[in-house]
Structures are given as structure tokens and as C-alpha cells.
Amino acid sequence: MSSAPESAPKHTNRLIYETSPYLRQHAHNPVDWYPWGEEALRRAREEDKPILLSIGYSACHWCHVMERESFENEQIAALMNQHFVNIKVDREERPDLDALYMGAVQAMTQHGGWPLTVFLTPDGVPFYGGTYFPPEPRHGMPGFPQVLLAVADAYRNRRGDVVAQAARVRKFLEQANRSLPGRQDLLQETLLSQATTAALRQLDPRYGGFGGAPKFPQPMTLEFLLRAWKRWSDPQPLHAVELTLEQMARGGIYDQLGGGFHRYSVDARWLVPHFEKMLYDNALLARLYLHAYQATGKVLYRRVAEETLDYVVREMTGPHGGFYSSQDADSEGVEGKFYLWTPEEVAAVLGERDARAFNALYDVTPQGNFEHRSILHLERPLDEVAAELGMAPAELEAVVAWARPKLYAAREQRVRPGRDEKVITAWNGLMLRAFAEAARVLERPDYRGLAVRNAKFVLGTLWQNGRLLRTFKDGQARIPAYLEDYALYSGGLLTLYEATFDPRWFRAARELADQMLALFWEPGDEAFYDTGHDQEQLVARPREVTDNAMPSGNSAAVETLLRLATFTGNAEYQRPAATVLRSLAEQLRQYPTAFGHLLEALDFYLSTPKEIVVLGPQPREDTQALLRTVFQRYLPNKVVAGADGPSSQVVVPLLDGREPLDGRATAFVCERFTCALPTSDPAVLASQLK
């Protein structure tokens, strides 16, 4: 809730007092914006005005377009101010509001997206909505002023129709957020097999990915397919993963100079991206490429994973250790301008000879492939281009290795896209996990240090008075955290424990998970709620179960609890996780590609996870040899605990009673707390892990 005074200077509205960069971007609109809170809701009730709720986020291109076209337009703003109480929401701060009202708009219009434009009664019930509206009628879409006048007229003169529609939407929202009774009989390996077949049926056989344009990476579905390959040794799922990862790594969706992935591709071949970069995409994709490297040993996957993480280190990490949220698609008001090149620009940096080679490989042409300029991508294999240029492949590789950092440095002199420096707990949990896991797999102590720094920052700043908070910006931690924040950060801490064997991270992960159960799980229910019982009561209590761009709070909670149950042997963690899986089993069966992360969790649940303990001082080579044996192979269903030696205070139950053999580094491999013989031999350990 804003603490702003009742009135604000002209063309400076109440959003000036917020910390969200997205809200502050609208602080000088002529619209009389409010942040979501009691002040705005009270005014709507007292003046009997409908609410115009606009939801977006900082990196959203069409949000910026609608702001320029409508919210900065004096005449349109006057209509908004006359007829509505106007509320602006950053969906990244308030995923509960976003999920609730997005569900309503999708039900009313069969469409969704951002900017989200919803009209509410004064008590917050939606009765009409849409997404982007142009300032005048265009392409069959009504102009925004027409929409405003029509909604205002309906509210004033056809109130009965508005009330009836609001009642129908309220009933829909209440029913949509009810959980379903579970079906244990569906939680079988056949469900995984059916989901694999369904996903492969949607594979684009030429460019990889699923479906046509626009094409999203869908890393969670690809993670599930990688698990399917591991489970059945079936080459088809692995082929689908490799085809997709190789095509994305060659395409414009991947930043060929700076590393990291853009949001999605507007075409089917990964060439033209929507240029925004999101923290969660890069966290999920870095882990996916890391796992593909473990599974295949291919250097390409390691390179892309490292370049993606190095991009986050360089451009998305704050001085406090928190990870920033996103980078805009636009710079200087032009989408993608920062990333585009002409042949002349390349030549000015590299010289004519090397520019000719670079431009041939990365398809930089006079006509361009986007707005008369070129998005860097690898259209053809390097060997083919080298032969065409009369060069040896090694010579062309050397030119590229020299040219990329030169061009990157030149690009850094351009006007950079805007960056949302808001720290979001859930997204930081995803990136913490990526860095911690990469630290072990790639033996990168710098990644481990960054992960530890992030954990210290989040637990020291965003965990206050026993309650996790959602966001940090400008020195302020705000908004009680949601289910996804607890689940994903707890999961990240478990991976950090595996990367360090420092028991404080395991202790913190377990404490967050216990609080998650207390806040978001209702006894006798079938799934978690997204909001805690101590949070604002909305029209309906949101409960998201499908995996979209990120894991849903429910699927993240299930996976974290299953991992904790394996670490501890405590059935109190497994019981709610199994309940959620049962309640969603029928939906998993019918719509498997909408539940990529939950399918990963189900694969873990239906497996016999390896319980691995490694004892020995970590700097010592014999300990490192055992750790290398564990972490350099693709073992998705495992937990790993460790210590320098016997411990009198066992925080992690897996360590209880373990002692090294004759002072040597020792590994124990167990399943359901039944163990193979302890070993100090990496070869024996490798055989036990098969």
C-alpha cells in the first residue's frame, strides 16, 4: 500500500513513491495512477467508480507501446481519470493479482498476455478485460477511448448486466481455484511414457522446439525429455533435446556476442527474438545446457551454459549479490537496436578482411534480416563457410575467437537496454540453483562464491522476522513472499548445500520448507495455495498448477519437498508432495506439456533416488576425485550430502553414523537408506552409480 499523500503534483502521480521500476516508469503519466492498495479500493467504493487495472512488467515491449500511445496521451488520460479509479500493477511484484485477473480475462476473451487491461467493480471483481488496446481502431481491434466510454456507459446505465457478469466471473474464479480429489492409480510409469510420446509428437523436426511461431524454449519440457532418455535409454527424447539446444544456440534467440537468451523467437527457426532477457529464462536454460553437457559430454553445451552464467555475472548481478530481474527489448525506443549490426559497423571494428569472414559466418548482410539490419546467428556450419571463403576451419575459428570480444566491447559503447534492478526471491532461487550446480559440475569456485554471496544477501535481507519477502529494490524489501518464492529459494539452498556441504544452507532450506507448509498448505486439501493465509484476501485465493515460463509454485513445492524427504527420511515432507501429484494426475495425463516441471518431480517420485554421501576434506584430491565421479555424470534423481569427516552434530540425517575409511575420502551410495559398501575408489563409485 502506498503511503503517498492524497494529492500529487500535476503529471507526477502516486507511483513516484513506489520502488518497482515498472511502476515508476508510469509515475509521470497524466493518468491518476494508484498502486494496488486500500487507498485506491476505498476511493472506488466511496465514489462508486469502476476500477481500471493495468498489469505489466518492465521488460514488456507492448506495455511500453501502450504507455506511449495511450497513457501519455492527455485526452485518453482525461477519460481514464474521469470515469475510473486507475491502478497500475507490476506482475513481477504481485503474481497473485496477475494470475487471478489473467485467468478471468482468459475466461472472458479466450486470450491473455501483457499489458493486461481489466475492468473491476469497486470490490475487485472483474467484469470485462483484454490485453493491448490501440489508441484508435486498428486491425479489427477497438480503440482504447471507445473501450473506456463503452465500459463507463455500461457501468453507469446497465449496472444489472455488469453485476451479473461480475457474479459469473467470481463463480468461475472460485471454481477454478478449487483442487480436485487425487487418483493414485494414475501415478505410474505409464504416465511418464504417455507424456513423453505427447511431447515428441509436438516436436518441430527441422528446427527443434515445440509447435510453430512464436516459439518459446520450454526448458522444463526439455528437462523432462532428458530424464525420459535417462530412464529408458531411448534415443528419441535425447535427439529432441539436442536438436532444440543446437538450433537455439545457433539462432538469434541466443546473444552470440554477450551470451544469454532472449525471451522467445517470433519465428519457428529461432532467428528473430523478442529481445528482452529474463532472469528466470536464463537460469532454467543454463541448467538445461549444463545437464545436456553431463549427458553427452559435448563442449557446445558447456560453452553455452558458461556463457549464459557469465552474462548473468557481468550484467545481471548487483553489488549486494542479488540477481536483477530483466533487461528490456528496446533501447532508444527501438526494439532490438542494441543487438543489431550492419556489414559496415562490423568492418569498422574488425577491418575489412576479418569482417568479411565474420559476416559470412554470422549472416550479416547489406539487406539484413530484421529492420534492414542483421541479427547475429549461425546460418551454416563453420566448415562450409570456411571452404567458401578459402580458409581452413581453424583459421576461421581463430578469427571468430578474436572478433567476438572486440565486437562485444564496441557494442558496450551503445545505449544499453533498460534494466529492471528489482530482486525477486523466486527468480533468485532459480539462478542460485544454476550457479551452485554449475560450480560442482564445471569445478568453478567463482560460481560457488557467487551463489554463497546470493544466499547471504537473500537470507540476510529478504527474510525478516521469520517471514520471507518477495522483492528488494532501493534498499527496501517488500511484499510477503508467495509459494513460488519459498519453494524455489528453498530448492536453490538445497543445491547450494550440495555444492558446499555447509550445513547452514541445508538448515535454512528446511526452515523455509517448514514455513511454506505452514503458510500455503491447508490440511485436508489437495494442492498448495499461491498466497499465505496471512496475506491479503482477494476475490478468490489463487492456486496456479500449470508450469508456464517458470515452474508453478505447486510443482516447485513438490520437487523441493521430495528432495527434502530423501535427505531426511521424513515422510511429512513426502506426504503433501504425493497428494499434489495425485490431485493433478488426470491433468498430467491429458495435458503433459503444460506440466513440464511437475513431470520432472513425478519422475523423481517414481524413481529410487540415489542417496550419496561423500566424506573427506574437500580441497584434497582423493575427495575431489569422488566428487567429480558424482557430479560429472547426468544423475537427475539424486541427493548428495558431505562433510570433512565424522560430525558430532548431524544437521543432515544422511550423514548420521557415517565415518571415512582409514582416514581416506569415502563415498556411500544408498537407496531408501539401504547402502552399498563404502568405497574410496572412484571406479567402484562409478559402478555403484549406474
- Summarize pLDDT for 621-678 with one digit per residue, the tens: 999 999 999 999 999 999 999 998 665 557 899 998 888 998 899 999 998 767 899 9
Cα distances (angstroms) measured from residue 96 to each of 228, 457, 479, 513:
33, 25, 11, 20
Residue 375 CB contacts under 8 Å (≥ 6 apart), including other chains: 252, 271, 272, 273, 336, 339, 340, 369
Alpha-carbon span 510 to 519, nearest angstrom = 14
- Of the candidate CATH numbers 1.10.10.200, 3.30.70.20, 3.40.30.10, 3.40.190.10, the domain formed by 14-176 belongs to 3.40.30.10
235-250 helix and 189-201 helix, angle to the nearest 10 degrees: 40
Long-range contacts for 668-677 (Cβ within 8 Å, ≥24 apart)?
668/612, 668/613, 668/614, 668/615, 669/610, 669/611, 669/612, 670/610, 670/611, 670/612, 670/613, 671/608, 671/609, 671/610, 671/611, 672/608, 672/611, 673/569, 673/611, 675/611
Q: Is the pLDDT of residue 461 over 90?
A: yes
**Average pLDDT, integer, range 210-217:** 94
Average pLDDT taken over every residue of the chain: 94
Q: Which pLDDT band holds residue 181 (cuts at 50, 70, 90)?
A: low
Alpha-carbon span 2 to 315, nearest angstrom = 31
Q: Is the pLDDT of residue 9 over 80?
A: no
Q: Is the pLDDT of residue 2 over 60?
A: no
CA 624, chain centre distance (Å): 32
Which pLDDT score is estimated for 7? 44
pLDDT digits (tens, 9 = 90+) for 399-447: 999 999 999 999 999 999 999 999 999 999 999 999 999 999 999 999 9
pTM of the full predicted structure? 0.94
Picking from 210-214, 345-349, 486-490, which range would have the lowest pLDDT averaged per residue? 210-214
Q: Taking CA 434 as the corner, what is the angle to CA 209 and CA 667, rounded to the nearest 5 degrees?
A: 115
Alpha-carbon span 237 to 241, nearest angstrom = 6
Buried b / exposed e along 376-401 (16+ C-beta atoms within 10 A): bbbbeeeeebbeeeebeeeebeebbe
CA 543, chain centre distance (Å): 18
Place of cell 493491448: 132
Q: In 3-state terms, what secondary structure has residue 126?
A: strand
Which pLDDT score is estimated for 593? 84
Q: Write out the E strands in 384-445.
A: 419-424
Alpha-carbon span 524 to 55, nearest angstrom = 34
Alpha-carbon span 91 to 70, nearest angstrom = 20
pLDDT: which is higher, 1 or 383: 383
**Average pLDDT, integer, range 351-360:** 97
Alpha-carbon span 685 to 690, nearest angstrom = 9
pLDDT: which is higher, 6 or 161: 161
Which pLDDT score is estimated for 425? 98
pLDDT digits (tens, 9 = 90+) for 111-169: 888 999 999 999 999 999 999 999 999 888 899 999 999 999 999 999 999 999 999 99
Alpha-carbon span 149 to 19, nearest angstrom = 32
Residue 544 CB contacts under 8 Å (≥ 6 apart), including other chains: 99, 530, 552, 553, 554
Q: In 3-state terms, what secondary structure has residue 45?
A: helix
- Looking at the DSSP bridge assignments, the partners of residue 419 are 327
Alpha-carbon span 281 to 219, nearest angstrom = 8
Which pLDDT score is estimated for 586? 87
- Looking at the DSSP bridge assignments, the partners of residue 615 are 643, 666
Helices (H), 234-371: 235-250, 279-296, 299-315, 343-350, 352-362
Q: Report which residue type is found at 130.
A: G
Alpha-carbon span 39 to 31, nearest angstrom = 16
Cell numbers at 319, concatenated: 553489488
Determine contact, residues 621/582, Cβ cutoff 8 Å. Answer: no
Q: Is the peptide bond before 617 cis (omega within 30 degrees of 0)?
A: no
pLDDT digits (tens, 9 = 90+) for 541-589: 999 999 999 999 999 999 999 999 999 999 999 999 999 999 999 888 8
